Structure 1
Amino acid sequence: MGRPADRTPAARAEQGRRARKLVPRSAHGAWIPAAGRPDPVAVLERQDADRVRHLLPIRYGRMALSPFAFLRGGAAVMAADLAALDGSGLTVQLCGDAHLLNFGLFASPERALLFDLNDFDETFPGPFEWDVKRLAASATVAARENGLGRGQARAAARECVKRYRLTMRRLAERGELDVWYTRLDTDALLELIRPGGRAQARATFARARRRTSLQALGKLTEVVDGRRRIRDDPPLVERLGAPDMTELRKMFNDYRSTLSEERRLLLDRFRFVDAARKVVGVGSVGTRCFIVLLAGRDGDDPLFLQIKEAGPSVLEEHLPSGPFDHPGHRVVAGQRLLQASGDIFLGWMTGPQGRAFYWRQLRDMKATADLAALGPDRLVRYAGLCGTALARAHARSGDRIALAGYLGRGDTFDRSVADFAVRYAEQNAKDHTALTAAIAAGVVSAEPGV
């Protein structure tokens, strides 16, 4: 088909409209489990083979907490389900795990507070609708968890997809640099929030600005015998012994080489102080994750970096091969492509036993929504905000004009994906029940409340 630049906007829009003949927009509403659908617990257990065994009960304890928690940790389950459906053929760089809590606030290098995608462990090229359907389903699951009715849950999913479609169509009319530089900062967010909610939004922005490495210094560290160190809090935070610390220092030097020259110079102004293993997230529990404390000018000038193990994306077994052999490089490249503004310390490297890792800042004014506190109207608006951010990300990596041509002016796609989201929320609830039954039967071990 050639590069988008080699074709006229009219030809690109026509490509999108032709894709409707392959997969009509109305077809996206269907959800019937495929014959021979894998057992969801078995899908999760396959991921356990190379994880830290003693942490797995924490993973299952967190996933068993609620249907939304199961959805968060069950990206592999939904990836297999989406792969069983007919695809549009319109490819973008997928987030791979687009749910409501994988969007949030963070600081740009210029210290502006932005709203965007913030998790890229599963990023991979694939059909655009996979991200849209996962995001819409998460809105429906969250609505059900908040006690909202079927109609309100569907409304949240529909608003999410509507804002995705309208944003994509708006961006299709803009120039390439204009699209590339588009971002959702606090001013843009306030324009999307009704006047009654703006005071609360400003309070949220203020809390996010306080979430820095300096705040983490007080929360995560202590002074022992006159020296600053990370505070032990097993099993969630465990300081490293001397052999592991030596390995991590070597990893640090290798990671440094993946940064640009000016960022290496900046990093070199910090000294290595301490490191620890740290349990993070829901689906990531059991992968090898660390935090590193660095000090700059003095002990009151900290920088916390997070190191996360990067394995194959859950999408890889269902899609053609991607452009990167190194999983850490895949994550970093995907984040740089999808986010409007990236972490200056984002990098990757290979660690002991050939394991892949990527590095980023632990806290840089990062904050996510408290979904349980959102009433019906606010949940609908938040779902729409996430749909807006997802469209902006997809417009950078995919052919936004073809996507806009496929989506069209009407609401057919919105209604269809909302139908899918409601049906898939029911499937997710059944899968969550299957997990809790497996825990009760002793098939998997779970440690709740950790």
Structure 2
Amino acid sequence: MDKAVKSKKANADSKPETGYESFDERAARGRALRDTVPRSSHAGWKPAQGRRDPVELLIESNEGRLSHLVPIRFGRMSASPFAFYRGAAALMAADLATTPTSGIRVQACGDAHLMNFGGFATPERNVIFDINDLDETLPAPFEWDLKRLAASLVIAAQYLEFPSSETIRIISGLVREYRERMHDYASMRALDVWYDRIDLQNYEDRTGDPAVIEAARKRIAERIEVARRKTLPDYLYPKLVCEKGELPRIKDDPPLIFHPTDELAPGFTSGYAEAIAAYRESLAEHVRILFDRFYFVDLAIKVVGVGSVGTMCGVGLFMAGDNDPLFLQVKEARASVLEPYAGKSLHPNQGQRVIAGQRIMQAASDVFLGWTRGRNGRDFYIRQLRDMKMSVVIEDLDEGLLRQYARMCAHALARAHARSGDAAAIAGYMGSGKTFDDAITEFATDYSAQNRRDHREFVRAIREGRIEATTED
């Protein structure tokens, strides 16, 4: 971290001597930051002198991954510039660290591209829209998340071959929505900000196109019903489990689902008793009572996503009785890609880091959210598998729906940042005009071109045999 970033971090993290500042004082503090880091300084993108070879950085990011799965990761990333961007969070983190920073820190997502937002069920069984992947979460400048989200929308619009004029409209609308929502949160009571949530079943947008909103509501209702069916044990159990032998077992489907050896996942022969006990201790006391009704049956490695491919991710099967299964997703938690630039996590376990970030940023979190550490020293966090989790299908979106989806992502990101950061200072810094909107829009457009160049270099490296990639059918 350079001296300028350290100085700004110290400025943002310091508290006033009195312990209290009014809304106007906090907003003024945000406006004052413009003197040091003008809003227009966020505009555009040019690679820093001596920028690392993107292929080398991605190869480095494979350290500690399961080597035989890395070609699947690279194969998925090679599919398009959009797929590449999803797997290149480490690359963009290095690039963001070279850009001007406001000095206002929040609990950042760390990988706020549009596919990491979506719907999921709360413990009360309501379906909300929120950030739903926080593997890289860490305190960092608020604009890093916004820049990554905005760039992902440009890349998605280009992937869908939308006109450039419509793409600019989508991105400027995204940034404006974030800015206006942050102004709203800045004037709300602290508890009202904390309790706010985006209810998918009753979704409303005060400024969106009524026809698009109605189409979005219809699409959402359909997706909720599909997700509800796919979460039911009667659907999941036969899809994932076979009942040959004394106990049910998760079905193998190599290379995407397979049972590990004891060498790969120490503790296999003992039923992971130590790791499960540590996970249980991370749960709230009342949840332990529920968890104790289930006994461990089986665990298999399950390849998921793009950026997570090659990490130790799996699915665990627990049973409370016949026809009473619980599927838990086990995800390896590695150091955040932001850590070299924003500072180390304060949590001793990287799974704990992820969960702490989720509980800060999300309006509601899975009741079974917990963490543990394996005998091999790897950190993990655990949650229910699928639990009505819904992600957008990019190919299904037209221009109006992508514009609406972008606004929903901006709303969710602003709400998440307002929970951990100073909404008044952020709002004061951004202001009420278009200066900040235009700057981020220009950055996102320019960075999408950098992503295309990096993707071409990546594909060339595969073609020349520098890296190995496996294309799935």
Given candidates 258, 269, 277, the residue that maps to 2:282 is: 258
Deviations 1:67-102 (A, max 9, x none): 111110000000000000110000000000001100
| CA spacing shift, 1:81–1:303, aligned 2, 3 Å | same
Indicate the residue corresponding to 1:210 in structure 2: 229
Given candidates 399, 403, 411, the residue that maps to 2:422 is: 399
Indicate the residue corresponding to 1:108 in structure 2: 122
Amino acid at match of 2:226: R
Q: Distance in 1 between matches of 2:349 and 2:172?
A: 37
CA contact (8 A) 1:158 1:418 kept: yes
What is the Cα deviation at residue 30 of structure 1? 2.0
Please give the secondary structure, in 2, of the residue aligned with 1:343. Answer: coil
CA contact (8 A) 2:119 2:200 kept: no
| CA spacing shift, 1:12–1:188, aligned 2, 3 Å | farther
Deviations 1:213-245 (A, max 9, x none): 513212111221364211100010002456625
Indicate the residue corresponding to 1:274 in structure 2: 298
Indicate the residue corresponding to 1:81 in structure 2: 95
Amino acid at match of 1:300: N
Q: Report the TM-score, using the length of structure 1 for normalisation.
A: 0.96
Which structure 1 residue ranges, 5 or more long, are not aligned? none
Q: Distance in 1 between matches of 2:75 and 2:215?
A: 38
CA contact (8 A) 2:258 2:301 kept: yes
| CA spacing shift, 1:199–1:319, aligned 2, 3 Å | closer
Amino acid at match of 1:107: A
CA contact (8 A) 1:83 1:318 kept: yes
CA contact (8 A) 2:368 2:383 kept: yes
Q: Distance in 1 between matches of 2:250 and 2:448?
A: 40
Q: Distance in 1 between matches of 2:68 and 2:194?
A: 43
What is the Cα deviation at residue 439 of structure 1? 0.3
Amino acid at match of 1:229: R
Which structure 2 residue ranges, 5 or more long, are not aligned? 1-13
Question: Which range moved further: 246-255 or 381-390?
Answer: 246-255
Indicate the residue corresponding to 1:238 in structure 2: 258
Q: Distance in 1 between matches of 2:152 and 2:269?
A: 39
Amino acid at match of 2:104: L
Indicate the residue corresponding to 1:351 in structure 2: 374
Indicate the residue corresponding to 1:329 in structure 2: 352
Amino acid at match of 1:438: A
Given candidates 300, 303, 308, the residue that maps to 2:331 is: 308
Q: Distance in 2 between matches of 1:416 and 1:361?
A: 40
Deviations 1:178-223 (A, max 9, x none): 0000000124524466224432221122122223151321211122
Deviations 1:316-357 (A, max 9, x none): 001233322321111110011000001111111121222111
Q: Report the TM-score, using the length of structure 2 for normalisation.
A: 0.92
Given candidates 140, 144, 157, the residue that maps to 1:126 is: 140
Task: Indicate whether 1:176 and 2:190 are aligned.
Answer: yes
Task: Indicate whether 1:2 and 2:15 are aligned.
Answer: yes
Indicate the residue corresponding to 1:360 in structure 2: 383
Task: Indicate whether 1:430 and 2:453 are aligned.
Answer: yes
Q: Distance in 2 between matches of 1:240 and 1:86?
A: 45
What is the Cα deviation at residue 379 of structure 1? 0.8
Q: Distance in 2 between matches of 1:82 and 1:173?
A: 29
Please give the secondary structure, in 2, of the residue aligned with 1:354. Answer: coil
Indicate the residue corresponding to 1:158 in structure 2: 172
Q: Distance in 1 between matches of 2:64 and 2:215?
A: 49
CA contact (8 A) 2:203 2:217 kept: no
Q: Distance in 1 between matches of 2:356 and 2:216?
A: 35
Q: Distance in 2 between matches of 1:270 and 1:233?
A: 25
**Count of matched residue pairs:** 449
CA contact (8 A) 1:94 1:131 kept: yes
Indicate the residue corresponding to 1:201 in structure 2: 220
Q: How does 1:84-99 map to 2 (within 5 A)?
A: 84-99=98-113
What is the Cα deviation at residue 384 of structure 1? 1.1
Q: Distance in 2 between matches of 1:438 and 1:34?
A: 22
Amino acid at match of 2:251: R
Please give the secondary structure, in 2, of the residue aligned with 1:313. Answer: coil
Task: Indicate whether 1:22 and 2:36 are aligned.
Answer: yes
Amino acid at match of 2:295: R
Q: Distance in 2 between matches of 1:198 and 1:148?
A: 23
Please give the secondary structure, in 1, of the residue aligned with 2:31. Answer: helix
Q: Distance in 2 between matches of 1:383 and 1:75?
A: 19
| CA spacing shift, 1:407–1:245, aligned 2, 3 Å | farther
What is the Cα deviation at residue 137 of structure 1? 0.2
Amino acid at match of 1:41: V
Indicate the residue corresponding to 1:287 in structure 2: 311
Deviations 1:159-180 (A, max 9, x none): 2111111111111111010000
Q: How does 1:381-400 map to 2 (within 5 A)?
A: 381-400=404-423
What is the Cα deviation at residue 248 of structure 1? 2.6
Q: Distance in 1 between matches of 2:106 and 2:192?
A: 19
- Percent same amino acid among aligned pairs? 46
| CA spacing shift, 1:239–1:136, aligned 2, 3 Å | same
Q: How does 1:435-446 map to 2 (within 5 A)?
A: 435-446=458-469
Given candidates 47, 67, 75, the residue that maps to 1:53 is: 67
Question: Which range moved further: 219-228 or 378-387?
Answer: 219-228
Task: Indicate whether 1:379 and 2:402 are aligned.
Answer: yes
Please give the secondary structure, in 1, of the residue aligned with 2:418. Answer: helix
Q: Distance in 1 between matches of 2:230 and 2:181?
A: 30
Deviations 1:268-317 (A, max 9, x none): 01111111011111011111111101112x23221110111111100000
Question: Which range moved further: 374-383 or 88-97?
Answer: 374-383
Question: Which range moved further: 321-330 or 335-344?
Answer: 321-330
Indicate the residue corresponding to 2:243 in structure 1: 223
Amino acid at match of 2:249: R
Given candidates 337, 346, 364, the residue that maps to 1:341 is: 364
